């Protein structure tokens, strides 16, 4: 994230202040594409081969059996979260901070009760499902808005 932020945010800001909207949009789309190209192969490996990766890493079959689903859910949430990096830096570069502020207030009002309920019912997997849900909502609702 830091590498992407340290490059994109200043460049987005520069193009926006110089009123170079075509270049800004080109950079935006290319950045979204590159993040996807980098993130999806890694994420898909972690999701589809979670058991094998955990078993190789820990050497513990019981731990692998108990945590592989959690790894898959959290990885999916992190993948959707990564898809929001470029749009977030784009908004910041344009000085649009209210949207993110209100978005996070709404998501906190929804996710905190969900975390409490699902964590009590399903343990850490419940919290992981909320993480996935929050990031899916960001992608499905925030990007279009």
Does residue 125 register a pLDDT over 80?
yes
Neighbours of 124 (CB within 10 A): 13
pLDDT at 1: 65
pLDDT at 7: 83
Does residue 140 register a pLDDT over 70?
yes
- Residue range 124-136: mean pLDDT, rounded: 96
Over the stretch 51-76, which tens digit does the pLDDT of each residue have? 999 999 999 999 999 999 999 999 99
Does residue 116 register a pLDDT over 80?
yes
pLDDT at 8: 87
């Amino acid at each position: 994230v830091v590498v992407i932020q340290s490059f994109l945010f200043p460049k987005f800001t520069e193009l926006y202040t110089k009123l170079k909207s075509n270049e800004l949009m080109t950079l935006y789309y290319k950045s979204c594409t590159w993040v996807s190209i980098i993130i999806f192969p890694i994420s898909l490996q972690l999701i589809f081969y979670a058991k094998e990766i955990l078993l190789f890493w820990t050497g513990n079959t019981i731990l692998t059996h108990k945590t592989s689903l959690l790894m898959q859910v959290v990885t999916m949430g992190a993948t959707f979260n990564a898809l929001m990096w470029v749009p977030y830096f784009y908004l910041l570069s344009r000085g649009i901070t209210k949207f993110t502020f209100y978005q996070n207030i709404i998501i906190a009002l929804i996710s905190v009760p969900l975390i409490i309920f699902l964590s009590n019912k399903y343990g850490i997997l419940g919290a992981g499902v909320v993480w996935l849900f929050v990031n899916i909502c960001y992608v499905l609702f925030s990007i279009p808005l």
